[in-house]
Structure 1
């Protein structure tokens, strides 16, 4: 994309900027990311050095204040409103006030009138409260002039070595046709081994060079712009725990342990060993 033709983008509930980083890689100009978590914004700023990281509570901030701070027109708005109220790991209470934070997202959209919007959340949002939340989102975006498509996508279908699912809502003008792209990796997913087998079993000091050359095309891709290793610290287990883990085969779990060891953790997933020949679990 020619720089003079870049679309400007605003990331709401940005966190560390993962969603907008993907758009940046696709050629979009990330103007700003807004979040009320200071530490996450510090990472956002690292990922987007030419963008603004704005510390702001979107539940109460006015759209005009946001506009004054960024002082630019916005073509695309993206975001992932907090999802604790929707997640199957939470209480799934449809009256949880966090479920309504997407209204702040809609309010900013109404003010800026972008050419397109993208919202992501946990898949359970689609079925939560017998689908009422999903239908409310579609209705609200429709009232703002957008036709909306939504789909639950699996990250491993698109080359990410993790079976992570997210529902993606895309809103575009009503005279524009949008179709979700089909993943290129549905039949040939990136495995845990292809992602990580260039890393040693022992911890590394931050900033050390990679100990070996990349062993897969995925590793080559991930090393673009980076020839040093960071955050590679192994967990310090007791010898008893190490001996127990060693009994679990590649891709196995607590059921592979002797009966007297199967109940030694309150959460059974603690003894799960992800298959090196598959993507990681979510």
Structure 2
């Protein structure tokens, strides 16, 4: 049986693609302006389907060729969000704010059966909701039935991370409903405990053995196609930094220390430790202020990838700083999976319940195209 085919715009390393592939879709084309991300995207696939390219240079003739070669079921993607971010300048004239018009151009040319846009929640309120209303109007005029955009927290869908992102979903056929939330949330301890302690690793290696057998279904899912741990190396900290981290309790921050330490980093979220009993805070692209729940260091690339719900056989390439950014920019695959499942069943989605949590027996296929 042929799999329904999708295109991933502004793909990054392909977290969005991966989630849809886990649900049964096939990605036939992906595009991103960042070379490092495309290299990682293709490194993890049998075919080099992703291209390093400015989307404004993607011609309508190329799109028509794609449409001729493939029956495109859907288009997914997250136009760059820095201009919308609540931690950024929120400049309405930021050129990145208008890249969704390129996304619109591609959808208009291809006219897939559905589209999904993911972005930071700041998009909803920037310039009094102008971008939200423009998206609804433009795509609505193409004939898409668009569900009211919703801000979803990844932690409610099996991802061990509190990450709030807005989704716009439009369909030409059927009826889309956002996925129901899962049950018990996955904590950072449940997500990471089987990974080897970096306190006990003396020398750099490309891969390491796991601590022990999976302790829960999330760990089993992440390890389904992997026998080794990759992208798992320490970061050098100054002795001063290590000393301060060591005094911060599980789930605490520098505010739990005497005021004289607050001047070390004049940032109200500095020196935060993960809470071992709760999902992580949002994994970002820097990782200089967030620390492991028990070890005195920033999380490794692999730990960040786990918190984003990337399986362990997904390898990040390039410089270490680039890898952190690649992970932080991605859509969590398990959240994408939930959206994809709803779309796959949109013609009979009155009674869909998909749960992915630490007590779940859900088995997903993580094979890549």
Normalising TM by the smaller chain, what interval? Answer: over 0.9
**Larger radius of gyration, structure 1 or 2?**
1
Map 1:13-32 onto structure 2 (within 5 A).
Answer: 13-32=10-29
Equivalent of 2:192 in 192, 196, 203: 196
Q: Which has the higher strand share?
A: 1
How far, CA to CA, are the matches of 1:88 and 1:98 in structure 2?
14
Equivalent position of 1:39 in the other structure: 36
Deviates more, 1:129-138 or 1:253-262: 253-262
What residue is the counterpart of 2:143 in the other structure? 145
Contact 1:21 1:48 in 2 (8 A): no
Q: Report SS of the residue matched to 1:59.
A: helix
Q: What CA distance in whole angstroms lies between the structure 1 residues aligned with 2:213 and 2:185? A: 22
**Matching residue of 1:161:** 160
Contact 1:15/1:37 (8 A) holds in 2: yes
Q: Are the counterparts in 2 of residues 75 and 114 from structure 1 also a CA contact under 8 Å?
A: yes
- 1:220 Cα shift? 1.1
- The offset of 1:63, in angstroms, is 2.4
Question: Offset of 1:245 from its aligned partner?
Answer: 1.2
The 1-side partners of 2:4 and 2:66 are apart by 19
Q: What secondary structure sits across from 2:146 in the alignment? A: strand
Q: Secondary structure at the match of 1:169?
A: strand
Query: For residues 244 and 34 of structure 2, what CA distance do their matches in structure 1 show?
Result: 38
User: Helix, strand or coil for the counterpart of 2:156?
Assistant: helix
Q: CA RMSD in A?
A: 1.6
In the alignment, the residues of structure 2 paired with residue 180 and residue 189 of structure 1 have an alpha-carbon distance, to the nearest angstrom, of 18
Q: How has the CA–CA distance of structure 1 residues 161 and 15 changed in structure 2, closer, same or farther, with 3 Å as cutoff?
A: same
**Matched-pair contact (CA < 8 Å) for 1:73–1:112:** no
Which residues of structure 2 form unaligned runs of 5+? 283-369
1:155-204: CA deviation from partner (whole Å, max 9, x where unpaired) = 0000000000110110001x52211111213xx21000000111213346
Deviations 1:64-115 (A, max 9, x none): 2234368323111111111111111211011222111101101111111101
- 3-state DSSP class of the match of 2:55? coil
Deviations 1:118-165 (A, max 9, x none): 110001111111011100000000011101111110000000000001
What residue is the counterpart of 1:241 in the other structure? Answer: 241
CA distance in 1, matches of 2:224, 2:54: 35
Indicate the residue corresponding to 2:216 in structure 1: 216
Unaligned runs of 5+ in 1: none
What secondary structure is seen at the aligned counterpart in 1 of 2:198? coil
In structure 2, how many angstroms separate the alpha carbons of the residues matched to 1:42 and 1:68? 24
